[in-house]
Structure 1
Amino acid sequence: MANHLNFDIYDLELTAVSNNSELRRLLIATANRSILVVEDINCSIELKDRSTDELPQESDEPNDPRYKKVTLSGLLNFIDGLWSSCGDERIIIFTTDYKEKLDPALLRPGRMDMHIHMSYCTPSAFKALALNYLEIKDHHLFNKIEEHIETTEVSPAEVAEQLMRNDTVDKILEGLIEFLKVKKIENEQVKAKKEEQELKNKEKAMIKGTDSKVKKNEEVDEQVMRNDRVDKVLEGLVELLKAKKSQNDQD
């Protein structure tokens, strides 16, 4: 984007910014016709959804420890507040792996005007990569590669890495096909292990619940089989059940 638009580009690390005032100064210092990139914004500062998580209160007092950090309010003002208008042709790009964890106020139109999902590689993305790296628009292996890409979860970066090999076009594309075959097998193995682990966890939970029931039944049987008068046995059973209920509540 920066090359295409001939814009300057800035990489902003929010964790290195001490407070909202410094963030504002950095914004003013950036040049016109520039791109400002904030990577992994969900890991930088507290930007969780305020409707589900209670965030620390903000402070404008310099001596308050809460003042010495960038806040959600400061970032919102940074994006579309008064100071954000001090400049022309500025693009701000945020990246995140967990969009759902960000506060809706940060995601709404006017602050983040365009949301782009970076998915796994698609056939059209592969063709664009082939054009960029191999300078070809078509090849007799394209159909086979596209079939593999449609059924394999592989990132564009992984495909690009295969296309950057120093070899002939045929060898590179054949190598990509083999890579996609291996990648598909690896994905299936990972998926199978995950499903197996989930099944084991469910079985453990069921066994734990069964053991608990068996233990309770054994305790009841033991109480009933006591060699005592019926009323004493029943009174003892009532006390046992009360004690078990209290223990379960504490757990």
Structure 2
Amino acid sequence: MDFDMKKMIMDDLERFLQRKEFYRRVGKAWKRGYLLYGPPGTGKSSLIAAMANYLKFDVYDLELSNLLGNNDLRHILIATENKSILVVEDIDCCIELQDRLSRARAANPDFLIAGYEQQKQYHITLSGLLNFIDGLWSSCGDERIIIFTTNHKERLDPALLRPGRMDMHINMSHCTPSGFKMLASNYLGIAEHPLFVEIEKLIATAKVTPADVAEQLMRNEAPEFALSGLIEFLESKKRANDGSEAKEAEERAVQAEKKVLEISEE
């Protein structure tokens, strides 16, 4: 993660901790919501662990597919302690599954019987989730943080994303040059190296995750060998990306040509 992003998150968490009287004065629950979004392997789970360590909060990992209904969300809120982080990972998958089941019920009157065993596991609704975040029961307890993670932010209902529910949206992107430098410092104990210039150029175009880079750096404790291996990996990824983009461009050109032929035939 970039230093500026890390500092912004830490400042936001610190501000949250210091504003107990503010929340009481304005009549709001002392809680804050974070949405972590981006490709797999970009460090969403690691960031949650870092936030918990920084705040010294307990973490509750909520598996919505194991809950029988919206009432279970209410019970969770009552049962969790103050100074806690409630995490729902891959929130888009949970909502998508419920939507698919709802459409299936509408299309098939017998679905209640045929799919009962599957249905009874997935009764969490969007309305129930919204109430969980900022409804009446969300006011139970203090110093709570709610975190949703997703690989596909665009699939989420806008109602989930508004301030007061998800107050801060954090884009966990592909590895950046500054992110690489932090990883090199953590894994190799170095702040500079002659190979950094070449690596930073490749990082900008290779589209790799921090997890990819960390895996390469862990393969050798000697900086020279670790960084050389990383360069080979990045060059390979860049070639693969360039080939994929060229193939997609070719397919688009073929489709465009087909459309032109169809129009001319009409």
Q: Which amino acid aligns with 2:88?
A: V
- Structure number with higher relative contact order (C-alpha < 8 Å, ≥ 6 residues apart): 2
- After superposition, residues 193-232 of structure 1 pair within 5 angstroms as 193-210=247-264, 212-213=265-266
Matched letter for residue 151 of structure 1:
T
Among candidates 164, 167, 174, match of residue 218 of structure 2:
164
User: 1:207 offset after TM fit, Å?
Assistant: 3.6
Alpha-carbon separation, structure 1, partners of 2:259 and 2:167? 45
Report the secondary structure of 2:206's partner residue: coil
Match of 1:85 in 2: 139
1:166-191 deviation digits (Å, cap 9, x = unpaired): 34111001111111111111100011
1:32 corresponds to 2:82: yes
Alignment TM-score, normalising by the size of structure 1: 0.71
CA RMSD of aligned residues (A): 2.8
Q: TM-score, normalised by structure 2?
A: 0.68
State the alpha-carbon separation in 1 of the partners of residues 186 and 57 from structure 2. Answer: 21
SS of 1:92's equivalent in the other structure is: strand
Per-residue deviation, 1:33: 1.7
Cα contact 1:47–1:103 (8 A) shared by 2: no
2:228 to 148, 160, 174: 174
Give the corresponding residue for 1:184.
Answer: 238
Relative to total residues, which structure has the larger strand share, 1 or 2? 2
Report how many aligned residue pairs link the two structures.
201
After superposition, where does 1:1-251 map in structure 2 within 5 Å?
1-46=51-96, 69-210=123-264, 212-213=265-266
CA distance in 2 between counterparts of 1:28 and 1:169 reads 50
Q: Secondary structure at the match of 2:150?
A: coil
Alpha carbons of structure 1 residues 116 and 47: separation in structure 2 relative to 1, 3 Å: farther
- CA deviation digits over 1:192-239, x for unaligned, max 9? 1111122222333334444x53xxxxxxxxxxxxxxxxxxxxxxxxxx
Residues of 2 paired with 1:157 and 1:73: CA distance? 35
Q: What secondary structure does 1:91 align onto?
A: strand
Which structure 2 residue ranges, 5 or more long, are not aligned?
1-50, 107-115
